[in-house]
Structure 1
Amino acid sequence: MTAVSLLSDRDLRAAVSTIDSSIGDLETIAARAVWSGLAEPGDGVAGALIDALGPIEALRVVERALDGGRPAEVPGVAEDDLRTALRRWHPRLAAAPHAEAARRAARGGIAMITPEGDPWPERLADLGVHAPVALWVRGDVSTLGRLARSASLVGARAATPYGEHVSGHLAGDLAAQGVTIVSGGAYGIDGAAHRAALGAGGATIAIVAGGADRVYPAAHAHLFARIAEHGAIVSEVPPGTTPTKFRFLLRNRLIAAVSGATVVVEAGWRSGSLNTAGHAAALGRPLGAVPGPVTSAASEGCHRLLREYDAACVTAPGDVLEMLGDWRDGPPATPERQRPESLRVLDALSARSWRDLPDIARRSGLAFAEVGPELGLLELDGRVESSAAGWRLAARR
């Protein structure tokens, strides 16, 4: 093995040249692609090595060391830790698997984004040396540029009808108001959140534990296809990689890191969603939990977050918007400052569904003659919007 065997491998370079990427330097793309398959997600030694030397030189240092040379002294990396890491990486230091992953990406229309290009999620920097080396994206890459105003909704796979209803209600209303919904693509709470965001015509991102070309769970193949069409499926491991329990746990840190706030909708006492909540808390992200029936084991984890971790109590989309600091036009009006009729009309409207005048009058308990003028004033204030289909709450863009 020579010191530059991987980066000079003709088959690897040819395969990497087919990857859709926003950066133009082929050697950097190749180095990032190799590192994403060489080290497991969250490998702090790999992260420190890349931070200190850059992905290209870091890879060359590894190859020289495995070619018989003495491990280089790298600031922030202890020699013993590097030696241990080299033993982990050695079995994967061959060009063929990385070239095949690049070809799978090209065949599957999967792009690779890196910290050198756009749209790299800036919040990932908070993970330090545990940040991903690269992200593989199936779908609309530009969706990652909409994470400044985003919320992750996570929870139990074996969700109750209550949990799925609340997840869908929160995700649909938030997505209709321009909030990007982030989740993990799993059964239960995740799936309900993705479907509701798509149904509202909003943006949604599924961050997965395996390759972006792998559908897991298999029954979500149709949902993943819709997410890829209207949002993005994101992974930090190369295409073809198998999802494992360890990678699911490491994936959770990305869900927490990229989002402006994390909300646990429903979770048991030992739910994996508490792992995501822990990452959010450690990163200083706003953390919320939805309360459930005190008799429900499916909500014990949420109650634990409310009691022990000072999570915000989330009962409506507005609670999540408040967590995001999303009162761009000042704080919401209080009942003392706003006409009671206006409040009743606003309560009768939805952010997702268009409602006609008779429906609004019935829901608000006001007469037609009262509802019409109130809607006109609210539209002038930008609080509601109208179309041929009726009226709805205006989206906050």
Structure 2
Amino acid sequence: MEKLRVELRERSYEILINRDNLHLIGERLLRFSTGSKIGIISNPTVAELYGNKLVSSLKNEGFDPYLILIPDGETYKDYFWAYHILTQLLELGFDRRSCLIALGGGVIGDITAFVASVYMRGISYIQIPTTLLAQVDSSVGGKTGVNHPLGKNLIGTFWQPSLVWIDVDTLHSLPEREFISGVAEIIKYGIIWDRDFFEFIKTNKEKILKKDENILIAIIKRSCEIKAEVVSKDERESSLRAILNYGHTVGHAIETLTGYGSYLHGEAISIGMIYEARLSNLLGFLSKENYQSIKDTIKNFGLPVDMPSIVDISAMIKTILIDKKNIEGKIRMVIPEDIGKMKINFEVNIEDIKKLFYE
């Protein structure tokens, strides 16, 4: 079992990474001072694969688990379905000692965390991410959120999990497109923090795509180490944590403008990373060689690199203008000045944004 710790004083928690460990979660929960009622939030696809194993593990240790399902997809990460989960919890008599488990990808993790943060002003929850993207990114760090038609994750809170429990065996049931989408966030960690890790990803492309378990555990662990270090230094994104948003200004705008359904998160972020790297090159920071290396690496993993033709550029600019990182109408972005080094909350002129998309 690979173990990491996110150090946040009284809100600290562990990230545990292994293979074939889902059946052990009930035993692990005995270490927490949680009540008997456990709400497992999932979608029908993931629940069919792993729900029974998780329910059995909890029942074997004396817990009283309830499976609460929402439809599968980013489209359903909204306040309506959050309200649906809250209603279910109230009807089932969940109290402040009850616990939630997010069993699924980023959508399930985000909405479960959001519900946990607001139910009776906050109850504990555990992340069991079943997608690569969720394992390396959204399950760690305590950001919660639901989407709004005007923008992604504009409604949310900071609420740390009690535990992140990663079973890499769940990746074998993941559709190839979903798996490759998760690789985008792994590439991001190399760009924002660790050039050697970036080179390691490039060198081990074939093993990653073949889902070599030793390589998977290594890249998941390193990604989580980077995020844990960043979050431990800046829990609420006052400065350093903003580097995790690389690619997300343009990427979130793509997701918003395509209706949260046409592009997976990692696919949108891939395009976002390329455009934001190109912006840095246009501004004279990132070298042409490093820009090309970022673009080639993303492309070589089969991720998209071009702006979708269905996206209206004027709408793209308007969406960027309401990005939650902006302050008092000023566009703030995270752009790479080198691989492994970022400019944080860099103020970008609207004319430079137009040049990026129109020239």
TM-score normalised to structure 1 length: 0.28
TM-score normalised to structure 2 length: 0.30
Bigger relative contact order, structure 1 or 2 (CA pairs below 8 A, ≥6 apart): 2
Higher CA-based Rg = 1
